Amino acid sequence: MSKKQSARFRPSSTRTVPRFAGVPTFLRLPAHDNPRDVDVMICGAPFDGGTTYRAGARFGPKGVRNASALTRGFHPAQGLDLFEHLRCADGGDVACIPMSVDRTLASITARTEQIIAGGALPVFVGGDHTISLGPLRALAEKHGPLGLIHFDAHSDTFGPAWDIDLHHGTVFRKAIEEGLLRPRDVMQIGIRGPFTAANDLDYARKAGLRIVMMDEIRNDLGAVAREIQARAGTGKYYVSFDMDGLDPAYAPGTGTPVPGGMNSYEALALTRALVGLDVVGIDIVEISPDHDPSGNTTLLAATLLTEMLASVAATRIAGAGARVRRATKRRTATPRPRTSTRRPKPRPKK
Ligand SMILES: [Mn+2]
């Protein structure tokens, strides 16, 4: 892409508009409606009508836009400025109906169809986890059933609540029932108890989902990262990040917090492992800013968003799937910024 193009769809310069100033947008990007002009279109899905415990995720998009004041584009792990490789824009909020799950999902599906028809990567900031069904329906219609990298404390494959079958705790069971996912290519990462009953994960296990419990992450973070990367070349993937996958110490601003989750570093490290996967859609959900006066939850959500997009950028440079090894090679060959601390010289081999 030309420099002129990338200059238009990147964050505004902090020399012109200081970080604390300006109209808040996702990642300080230009507000722009037409997906044909960009590689990535980030939209808010301000809906929490699918929550079973405390509401508030309808304010997630607004909170992440405010926290985006502190996001940055150069990611040392990938050795690139994501905005030099991806033209990104804030596509505004999808029209959500506060008390209608069905009409809200229809609205999100329609917006996703429009974004993918324009050739851009759809990214949604929620909203509660119910919203994921919207993009999944549109993307599976286009690509067929998708793989899923799903970060969460909960499996979200549970049964109906109060006889209502579709809510934020059932969204991936619904997606499987609708044939939107390839169950063997679903990784649920950060799952933990306590559970309501011993059979809480029965549906997920019988469906063949790969459940990565928190203990596995704590015992060997690198092994989990490698398992994500090993999915490269196995088809198209959707990435769904529920903020309650994090420990409430790091992300208290969420609807259904569960102690004992990932810390910020672990979550960031695992999103870096998405390099090489053919990612066709992303969401980050269950951000409830009013439950976190510190603002750390929204800052972490905005940072995870940039980290996932940096992985997408690194994948596009090298090509998805089989060519992931080249990506690794190129990344290490990319010059480090001058400000970075020098690495110690490797010891001579004996
Ligand atoms: Mn969830």
pLDDT confidence bin for 344, thresholds 50/70/90: very low
Q: What is the pLDDT of residue 1?
A: 62
Give residue 229 CA to ligand 1 midpoint distance, Å: 22
Biggest CA pair distance of the chain: 69
How is the chain split into domains, by residue range?
Answer: 3-333
Q: What is the Å distance from ligand 1's center to 6 Cα? A: 34
Position 347 scores a pLDDT of 52
Decide: residue 343, CB within 10 A, 0-12 exposed, 13-18 middle, 19+ buried: exposed
With a cut of 90, say whether residue 343 has pLDDT above it.
no
Distance 82 CA to ligand 1 centre (A): 27
Whole-number Å distance, alpha carbon 156 to ligand 1 midpoint, is 6
Q: pLDDT tens across 132-185, in order?
A: 999 999 999 999 999 999 999 999 999 999 999 999 999 999 999 999 999 999
241/224 Cα distance (integer angstroms): 16
Fold of 3-333: Arginase; Chain A (3.40.800)
Residue 174 Cα to ligand 1 midpoint, Å, equals 13
CA of 275 to the centre of ligand 1 (A): 23
CA of 169 to the centre of ligand 1 (A): 6
210-213 and 121-126: which strand pairing? unpaired
What is the Cβ-side half-sphere exposure of residue 114, based on CA atoms within 13 angstroms? 15
Per-residue pLDDT reduced to its tens digit, 285-338: 999 999 999 999 999 999 999 999 999 999 999 877 644 444 444 444 444 444
CA dihedral 185, 315, 139, 143 (to 10 degrees): -70
Residue 235's Cβ-side half-sphere holds a number of Cα atoms within 13 Å equal to 16
* Residue type for position 278: D
Residue predicted with more confidence, 331 or 35: 35
Compute, in angstroms, the gap from residue 153 CA to the centroid of ligand 1: 7
Q: For residue 288, how far is its CA from the centre of ligand 1 (angstroms)?
A: 13
Is the per-residue pLDDT at 61 higher than 80? yes
Cα 242 to ligand 1 centre (Å): 5
- What's the CA-to-centroid distance between 256 and ligand 1, angstroms? 9
Chain-centroid distance, C-alpha 118:
21
What confidence tens digit (pLDDT) does each residue in 205-237 have? 999 999 999 999 999 999 999 999 999 999 999
CA of 129 to the centre of ligand 1 (A): 5
Give me the mean pLDDT over the 13-26 stretch: 94
Contact call for residues 94 and 127 (beta carbons, < 8 A): no
272 bridge partner residues: none
Does the CA dihedral 170-176-180-185 come out positive or negative? positive
The per-residue pLDDT for range 111-138, each reduced to its tens digit, is 999 999 999 999 999 999 999 999 999 9
What is the mean predicted confidence (pLDDT) over 182-195? 98
pTM score, two decimals?
0.91
User: How far apart are the C-alpha atoms of 39 and 85, rounded to whole Å?
Assistant: 9
211 class by beta-carbon count within 10 Å (0-12 exposed, 13-18 middle, 19+ buried): middle
pLDDT of residue 346: 52
